[in-house]
Each structure stands twice: as C-alpha cells, then as structure tokens.
Amino acid sequence: MVAVQRLPPRTTTKTHTNKVKPLELNPTQGELLEVMLDKTHFRVAFGGSRKGGKSFGGRVAIVTRALRFAGTAHLIIRRTLSELRSNHLNEMHKLLQFRFGLVLGKDYTYVQSTYTFTFINKRFCLEGVPSTITLGYADKEKDCERYQGVPYMTIWIDEAQQLDKSVYDKLMGSLQNEKYPGEFAKVLLTANPGGVGHRWIKKYFVQESTRLSATRWIKSHLQDNVWMGKSDPQFANRMREDYADKPWLLAQWLDGDWDVTEDGFFTFNKDRNVKDIEIPHYARWFCGADYGYSVTPFAVIWGAVWHNPYTNERFCHIAHEYRKFKLDMDVQAQYALDMEERYRIPPDVARYADPATRARTEHNSSAASKTVAQAWAAEGWYTIPSNKVAKHVGLQIINGLLTKGILTISPSCVSLINEIEDAVYARNPDGTLDDVTDPRQPDDMTDALRYAIQKIWRHAWGSESTDPWELVTDKESEE
C-alpha cells in the first residue's frame, strides 16, 4: 500500500490542533492511489456501482498528488457549481484536517471567490510557488475555457458520465507536467454506468479492446464500501425494491455493469436495423434536412419508403447522409444537389426540412436577406416544411419503426448510426427520465430524419388509423 503523506503531530494550542484519524482505504481505493502515483498510466478511470467510494478515493488521490508534487496545480471538475459545493467543499476540508493533519490558515488556505485550496506550508511549495487544488465546473465545452492557461498536474473529472466527450477533450489540453521530469500529469475520471457519457467512457476507458493507451480502469464495488455498509445497510435492498421494474438500472447501480443498456433512448439493434438494401424502382424517395452553420452542422439524409403488397411488409431505408459545418445556406443547397446527382437520387424526391427554415435568415453568400428555405430554393433545392409537432412525437415514431424493423439504415450512414446508438433520455431536475433525447448530445442527423419521418407517416399528424405506422403512399402528406 502506498504511504499517504501527512504532517507530523502538532503541539500547538487546542484551537489549531486537529484530531487526526487513520486514513483507511478499501482495496479499490488503495489500488487507485497506487495507480495515481505510478509512472505507467496517465489516464485513470475509477467507477462502477453506486456508493462504491469513488469520491473519497478521488479526493485522497488528488490531495496526495498535490502534497507530493510541491508547487503544482490540480483541478477537480463537476458538471455544476452546486454539485461541486455539496459534494466536495466540506468533504475536502474534513479530509485535509482530520485525515492529513493540516491546519486551515497555517498549512493551507481556501479562497471562496476562486474555489481554490492553496497549500502554503513550505513543504508543499517549490521555489516559493505553492501547490493548489481548484474546484471547477463545466457542463459544456465552452465552460472549459476558464481553465485554459494553467498547467494542471492532475485533472479529476467527477461523475464524468454526465458530460459529453467534448468537455473531456477540451480539458485535456490543460493537462501538463512542467516541473517533474519522469512523472506523469494525470487525468482521473470517476463515473457510474449510464448518462450522456456512458458510451465514450466505456469505449475509451472501460472496454479493453478499445481502451486508450496508458489507461488504467479500476472497477468499484458496493461491497467494498465498508462505511456504506454500516451507515446504510439497507441501501441495496431498497434499490431492488424501488427499481424492480428496471433491471438494467439495478445492474448499473448495484453491479456497476457497463454492458447493459443504460438509459438509451432508441431500441436499436445493428443486426436488425443496419444493412444494405436494394431499393426497388417503385419506391418513393424522400430527404430530411436540418440547417446549421457553426454550432451545429448542415445535416441531410436521403431514403426511400415502399410497400410490398404481396407480403404486406413496409420498408423505410436510409441510404445516404451528408453532414458539414460552416456552409452558407446557398452553398448548402449546392452541395446537396451535388450529392443527389452523385447518389442518383430521383428528381421527384420529396425534401422535408425544419419548419423554422421558413422563418429564419442565416448566413447567405449574397447580400440579399433571405430565409433559409428561400436561399435553398434560389439554388434549385426546394423543401417542404415538416409538421409542427412536439419533438417527442417524431422520436417515438422513429423508435417504433426501429423496433418493428421497418426502419433500416445503410452502414455508410455512420453519423446517423452513431447518433442513434449514443442517444440517451434527457433527465428532469428531479432525476426522472424525460420523453426526449438529451440535448447535450449531437442530434443533427436524427433531427433531419425526424423532419422527414414525422411528415410521411400518418401517426405524426393524428391519424385515427389502427396501424400507427401506416405509410402515406399518396401526396396527402405534402398538402
């Protein structure tokens, strides 16, 4: 076991003396501390079941590194400031004082305005520069800009499953070791299965076959947390009773299982929904379009629907896609027309777009002000506004078609497949699942598909049909 650095006992007045208790780590927390101090790994992920001791292990690891590498900066990240305060602020003070034996005002200070712990004892200073631990927060990529310009020896992203990979990528640009040759600056992720970050954490940290180099994955277990067993021995039983109808959630929370389907939105199966299909000559071609520029891309899908009268089977196949950032609206239309010529899309293709394209004016190459739809039409790319229905309606139709195997996607439509695979439910403030996808995830291709699907399937506009997936085969949908 790695020795944890702490100051020798003090003989100061009672006011400044902390009663130091032994620092007891469970086996996985001990393993985490050893890995955080080795010279082999610079990416570390620690997670699994809930209440497995991740937060305490993370705090011990980052404090130990701050004290060992004098004069270095370290950063703890949570999604929001309120989460940061409630989970780490008081616990950090207790850890420093009652486990590491440090005295506030003598060995370290805390500045509320910058959320920074500064270790002022000369043992933790290098050439007069003290070690620091800053409590930070970031919900999206832009939030990370406030932490640029500081070389952090350690970045700990707590509850990383709540964040998109773009936040992780942005923070990695600030991970630097400028003072200790031979040592590693390290990033630590603590996470549970589920959430918007589930798939990227599983892919790059958990799953051995796709794990990044110099990465260590440590799985936490509920049974390892002896303190939890004493303070709330009925936690596991209570979870089993409360969530008996959600076995996948129990597998995540109690077993730390990253392979079960988390709060995934779509019932998607690659064997069933991803395949190459020859589209018959009588099929009706359609196109779905979502405008965008810099924050979101211009996204287009092309597909076809048809009905086999002999077997009564219905088919909806997405054959092609196009996705690109920073194209002016008129240039978007030109690119789309070029793609249609390349893919030999029939000229009578029905194009459906976001209804907002009839009102919004954005990024035209010409000086004349036009709506998005007008800019497209001026280049000969005509679109029909989709139905103005609630987003969850269109998403439910897509999900229903995927579940029934009616909707299939060509393997070449990588962006659309990735969005559908990665889509998770948005969560309400109370933690319950909403009825739409998490808006922090890319959904441009899915929106393009939704604009088309909710226009050409009767269920989208309140049909009384007994078959909610009945295909519109006439021109009724374009009226």
Instruction: For residue range 43-98, list pLDDT tens digits in order.
Output: 999 998 887 789 999 999 999 999 999 999 999 999 999 999 899 999 999 999 99
DSSP designation for 274: B
Supply the pLDDT for residue 469.
40
- Output the pTM of the full model: 0.58
| Residue 156 · residue 58 · CB < 8 Å | yes
3-state DSSP call for residue 267? coil
Segment 13-41 mean pLDDT: 82
pLDDT tens, position by position, 218-238: 998 887 776 666 677 787 788
Quickly count: other Cβ atoms within 10 Å of residue 390's Cβ.
11
Buried b (16+ CB within 10 A) or exposed e, 133-168: bbbbbbbebebbeebeeeebbbbbbbbbbbbbbebb
CA of 134: how far to CAs of 66, 91, 309, 430, in Å? Answer: 11, 14, 66, 28
Cβ neighbours of residue 242 closer than 8 Å, sequence gap 6 or more: none
- How far does CA 218 lie from the centroid of its chain? 20
pLDDT at 479: 31
pLDDT tens digits, one per residue of 358-398 = 886 665 555 456 889 999 999 999 999 998 888 888 898 99
Query: How many other C-beta atoms are found inside a 10 Å radius of the C-beta of residue 109?
Result: 14
Query: Taking 80 as the threshold, does the pLDDT of residue 472 lie above it?
Result: no
What local confidence, expressed as pLDDT, does residue 2 receive?
47
Residue 474: predicted pLDDT: 36
Residue 11: pLDDT above 80?
no
Question: pLDDT class for 261, splitting at 50, 70, 90?
Answer: low
Handedness of CA 227, 228, 231, 233 (dihedral sign): negative
**DSSP per-residue letters across 275-288:** ---PPPTTPEEEEE
Q: What is the pLDDT of residue 458?
A: 55
The closest of 133, 193, 184, 188 to 158, measured between CA atoms, is 188
pLDDT per residue over 125-180, tens digit each?
Answer: 999 999 999 999 999 999 999 999 999 999 999 999 999 999 999 999 999 999 99
- Between 152-156, 180-184, 438-442, the lowest mean confidence (pLDDT) is in 438-442
Q: Is 75 exposed, middle or buried (0-12, 13-18, 19+ CB in 10 A)?
A: buried
pLDDT for the residue 17: 55
Token pair 């996808």 in the structure block, residue: 437
Residues linked to residue 20 through DSSP beta bridges, in sequence order = none
The closest of 264, 261, 220, 256 to 239, measured between CA atoms, is: 256
Q: What is the pLDDT of residue 441?
A: 82
pLDDT at 228: 65
In contact, 301 and 450? CB cutoff 8 Å: no
Q: What is the mean pLDDT of residues 276-289?
A: 94
pLDDT, tens only, 191-219:
988 888 988 998 899 988 789 999 999 99
CA-to-CA distance for 152 and 175, rounded, in angstroms? 5
- What does residue 70 show for φ and ψ, rounded to 5 degrees? -60, 140
* pLDDT over threshold 70, residue 264: yes
281-302 average pLDDT score: 93
- Tell me which residue of 179, 73, 80, 184 sits closest to 134, measured CA to CA: 73
pLDDT: which is higher, 392 or 34: 34
Tokens at 109, concatenated? 């200070």
